[in-house]
Amino acid sequence: MTRKLHILFCSSPLQFVHAHLVRRSGALGEGEVRLFCEPPISPMVIVPGMWDGVTELASSKRQFGNAIANIRKNLEIFETRIDLTNYDHIHLVISDVFWLMNNVALAALRRKCEKLAIKFSFSILDEGAILYSGARLSWKRTLRCWARSLYLIANRLDTVFVSDGNADYRNALCERVFCLHPKLILAPSSVDKVRINPDLLDEIYGDRFGQLPMPPASALYLSQPLYVKLGVDAHMRLVLASRDLLEKQGVRRFFYKSHHFDSREWTSVLESRCGLEPVPNSGDLPIEVWARKCPAEVVFSHFSSALLNLGAYGFMGRVVAAGLNQLMDVFREPNEYHQYIDAVTRIGGIEMMDLFDRAENQPQGNREALRQPDN
């Protein structure tokens, strides 16, 4: 009998939730299933009993520094925890092939499996909007990917040179895409598109997330670190313009849920200068886990992944993409912006709210203010 090992590698709060939904659905099939976790991790989204092993890794995100050293440390943890010779099929599940740790893990495991004559494959697990807005690679993005691979080689690490033909689910070794919106995935016929089922959420977690204490006729703003690229003042103008329009539509109180990479300076701006109240006890959990029980009349942001997901998770209020038409420059390239717009349109149920009528009122961007490294 084939001994198969599924390795799920997760690094964001939403991805942890999606991993549990896929595991509970039985979509992975037979075999041992182990979960490997990079911070930030909320213990509330981990159910250890669902896995044959749960291992915490070091963070390879550049925000926290020592990315290369931590990638090496994580590879050592993999070697310590997994004896590949015990299996004849290794199946890696990752969010994409672009992120450094994913790219190195994919290349290293493939090389070792080939050496040991073990079958190797991988699948993609929906982590958010990047799956739908980054599907096609321009030549500029391809060059950036190759530059990252050269950087990894210079640091004596395995790498996959990514181009448009082998990115994510277009890679010949990709088996499946586990995602919320299969209709948006233009995968080859050889790749199965498996819908993630949010209906299993309560079955897995019960009432552990509690309620969001918000009154009727309120709005919830999902913060994003846009100030890194726009500057604080420009980002603040987006929030204030969004608030003004919603206030004219009858919304009386405004709350915000911070992003797990938001700075304290930015959350202070949201409270003191934008008049938004923090949602108590929301922690590092994705808003999707409260979708069905969220009492807000409106959830708004600019291009958050949650805007694409809330309907699938059962949110019954309004979902608003505020100022999206003014934010093309925030995306790495126009192609990604247009793919995100296409996703919003095809999913449906998401309002696109224009904020500025005159060009001089659009965000200009002090790009040095509160600058942080890219995610």
pLDDT tens column, 80-125: 999 999 999 999 999 999 999 999 999 999 999 999 999 999 999 9
Instruction: State whether 118 and 228 are in the same domain.
Output: no
Does residue 372 belong to any structural domain of this protein? no
Using alpha carbons, list the distances in angstroms from residue 206 to 45, 159, 165, 195, 201: 11, 40, 42, 21, 8
Does residue 367 belong to any structural domain of this protein? no
Query: What is the CB neighbour count within 10 angstroms for residue 43?
Result: 10
Q: Determine the pLDDT at residue 357.
A: 60
Answer whether residue 375 shows pLDDT above 70: no
Q: Determine the pLDDT at residue 281.
A: 65
* Angle, CA 25 vertex, CA 24 and CA 28 arms, to 5°: 95
Measure the CA–CA gap between 17 and 10, rounded to whole angstroms: 10
Does residue 184 belong to any structural domain of this protein? yes
Domain boundary among 158, 173, 205: 205
Residue 198: strand, helix, or coil = helix
**Beta strand extents in 253-323 (DSSP E only):** 253-257, 277-278, 298-301, 318-322
Q: What are phi and psi of 286, to 5 degrees?
A: -70, 145
> Which range is least confidently modeled, 1-5, 195-199, 356-360?
356-360
Q: Determine the pLDDT at residue 365.
A: 43
The answer to whether the beta carbons of residues 89 and 31 sit under 8 Å apart is yes
Does residue 45 belong to any structural domain of this protein? yes
Answer whether residue 366 shows pLDDT above 60: no
Instruction: State whether 201 and 285 are in the same domain.
Output: no
Measure the CA–CA gap between 32 and 52, rounded to whole angstroms: 6
Answer whether residue 356 shows pLDDT above 90: no
Does residue 211 belong to any structural domain of this protein? no
Instruction: State whether 199 and 294 are in the same domain.
Output: no
Instruction: State whether 30 and 85 are in the same domain.
Output: yes
Instruction: State whether 252 and 152 are in the same domain.
Output: no
Q: What pTM did the predictor assign? A: 0.90
Cis peptide, bond prior to residue 40, ω within 30 of zero: yes
Measure the CA–CA gap between 308 and 297, rounded to whole angstroms: 17
Instruction: State whether 169 and 282 are in the same domain.
Output: no
> Which range is least confidently modeled, 14-28, 228-242, 277-291, 299-313?
277-291
CA torsion angle 44 222 210 127 (round to 10): -40
Using alpha carbons, list the distances in angstroms from residue 187 to 123, 132, 176, 305, 309: 12, 12, 9, 20, 20
pLDDT tens column, 288-324: 999 998 999 999 999 888 999 999 999 999 999 999 8
Answer whether residue 360 shows pLDDT above 70: no
Residue 133 structure tokens: 């807005």
Instruction: State whether 141 and 237 are in the same domain.
Output: no
At position 321, the amino acid (one-letter code) is A
Answer whether residue 41 shows pLDDT above 90: no
Average pLDDT over residues 20-41: 94
* DSSP letters for 111-174: HHHHHTT-EEEEEEE--STHHHHSSS--HHHHHHHHHHHHHHHHTT-------TTTSGGGSTTE
* Eight-state DSSP code of residue 22: H
Measure the CA–CA gap between 22 and 20, rounded to whole angstroms: 5
- What CATH code is carried by the domain that includes residue 233? 3.40.50
Average pLDDT of the chain, as a whole number: 89
User: 252 Cβ partners below 8 Å, 6+ apart?
Assistant: 217, 218
Does residue 374 belong to any structural domain of this protein? no
Does residue 104 belong to any structural domain of this protein? yes
Instruction: State whether 144 and 262 are in the same domain.
Output: no
Q: How many CA atoms lie within 13 A of 237 on its CB side?
A: 16
Instruction: State whether 40 and 172 are in the same domain.
Output: yes
Answer whether residue 374 shows pLDDT above 60: no
Residue ranges making up the domain that contains 98: 4-205
Instruction: State whether 185 and 251 are in the same domain.
Output: no
Q: Which residue has the higher pLDDT, 8 or 369?
A: 8
| Alpha helix positions (H), 37-138 | 67-81, 100-115, 130-133
Does residue 38 belong to any structural domain of this protein? yes
Number of domains into which the chain is organized:
2
Using alpha carbons, list the distances in angstroms from residue 139 to 92, 142, 148: 27, 5, 14
Q: Which residue has the tokens 């790495």?
A: 332
Q: Determine the pLDDT at residue 95.
A: 93
Query: What is the CB neighbour count within 10 angstroms for residue 15?
Result: 23
Domain boundary among 205, 235, 269: 205
Q: Determine the pLDDT at residue 53.
A: 95
Domain boundary among 164, 183, 205: 205
Instruction: State whether 198 and 83 are in the same domain.
Output: yes
Instruction: State whether 230 and 168 are in the same domain.
Output: no
